[in-house]
Amino acid sequence: HDPYEFVKVVRGEGKYPSGAVEIQWVNKDYYDRRGMKASADFVGRGEGWRQQRQLLARDLMTPTAYKSYSNAIARAARFASAAAKSGQQHTFLSRASFDMFGAAFFGEQLMSANEETLTPENKKFCESAEVVLEAIMTTGGSPQEYIAHLEGKLTPTTEAHNEAYDYCNEHATRIIHAFIDKKNAGTLTEDQKSSYLLAALNRQELTDTNVDSLVEVLNFLLLAAVDTTSAYVHWVLMALATHQDVQQKVFDELTVALGDNDISRDLISQKQWLPYLHTVQREVHRQRPALAGVAKQTTQPMTLCGYEMQADAAVWLDSFSTQNDTDIMRDAHVFRPERWNTEEVGWVVVVTLSAPLCISAYVSLSFS
């Protein structure tokens, strides 16, 4: 797990980087069975992936884009925070993540983190998303399940995955078509006018094929948001709870910067705002990355850790062990956000934030 070995693979990928989603056969089998070409392209590698990614980069990941929907995300976070209570943190944070991404994607306050405002449809979406994601982690790693897949058979677990994914697609389709109806009627709210969905719709001709493709990609991103974002936020809260001095510094910084106000576009536009919170985010991601490693594929023959690897060899970049190795980083097991103000962790950025970059990580780090 030498970080310099990691860099060889990352830098050699070119414009079509590989990733873990390529080996998630449970989802890929579902896309093939349902004829979902946009989803297959999005989790693949090649020109189809690049085109999908470029659209996202323009309308979701540029400074102008994420500043436009920051107010909506802030309100979603405030609504969710007001409903926070002890116990069931996994469920709460999953729904809160769904709310925040819904605010960015659709410009809607879904308010699913609050039991009093949670609709049956949104509850079922979040529950279905967890079924889909659990199948990726458990069914996807089962030799018996994979053999059944190679034989073209559906098992009870893959059928449950497919049924849950079907509902997520149906719910996302309803939300998007309702949005299009409001757009055509000229009744979009200010948040909806600043959403990713409107920017994406304005960029392409509204054919059935284009709308279906948009539903597929947005649904995939929502599914990912429910799990990866909530897991990361969970670790942030854990770190703050167990490091009272860090918690106090974050509280003081937020109090000075925000007062009683939400995060605003004007505040985000300031250079290097909330610098200490930024270092906390990075330190949490270093110690407890959302994924323990990254699956990659070599694009050319190379030597890695003394082994001769052929082109198209599957490799696992073990970011967790590297980022917590005291032989590589001094006091790696100590939670010390201040380390990010020095040059001692320069290589970690390459490992943890290499393309294809997680959208939620990009927006989160950009906000701070």
Tens of pLDDT along the chain (368 residues) come to 677 787 888 888 777 887 777 778 899 999 999 999 888 888 888 888 887 777 777 777 777 777 788 888 888 988 998 888 777 788 898 899 999 989 988 999 999 999 899 999 999 998 998 899 888 888 888 999 999 999 999 999 999 999 999 999 999 889 989 999 999 999 999 999 989 889 888 877 666 667 788 888 888 888 877 777 888 888 999 999 999 999 999 999 988 888 777 666 666 666 667 889 989 998 998 898 877 777 888 888 989 888 999 988 888 888 888 888 888 788 889 999 998 887 565 555 444 433 344 544 444 444 44
Count of other CB atoms within 10 angstroms of residue 311:
11
Q: What does the pLDDT read at residue 50?
A: 82
**What is this structure's pTM?**
0.82
Q: What does the pLDDT read at residue 241?
A: 94
Query: Could you say which DSSP state residue 340 is in?
Result: G
Q: What does the pLDDT read at residue 265?
A: 65
How many Å apart are CA 116 and CA 40, to the nearest integer? 37
Question: Would you call 112 helix, strand, or coil by DSSP?
Answer: coil
Q: What does the pLDDT read at residue 250?
A: 94
Count of other CB atoms within 10 angstroms of residue 23:
13
What's the per-residue H, E or C state across the chain? CCHHHHHHHHHCCCCCCCCHHHHCHHHHHHHHHHCCHHHHHHCCCCHHHHHHHHHHHHHCCCHHHHHHCHHHHHHHHHHHHHCCCCCCHHHHHHHHHHHHHHHHHHCCCCCCCCCCCCCHHHHHHHHHHHHHHHHHHCHHHCHHHHHHHHCCCCCHHHHHHHHHHHHHHHHHHHHHHHHHHHHHHCCCCHHHHCCHHHHHHHHCCCCHHHHHHHHHHHHHHHHHHHHHHHHHHHHHHHHHHHCHHHHHHHHHHHHHHHCCCCCCHHHHCCCCCCHHHHHHHHHHHHHCCCCCCEEEECCCCEEECCEEECCCCEEEECHHHHHCCCCCCCCCCCCCHHHHHCCCCHHHHHHHCCCCCCHHHHHHHHHC
Q: What does the pLDDT read at residue 207?
A: 63
Q: What does the pLDDT read at residue 323?
A: 85
Q: What does the pLDDT read at residue 6?
A: 77
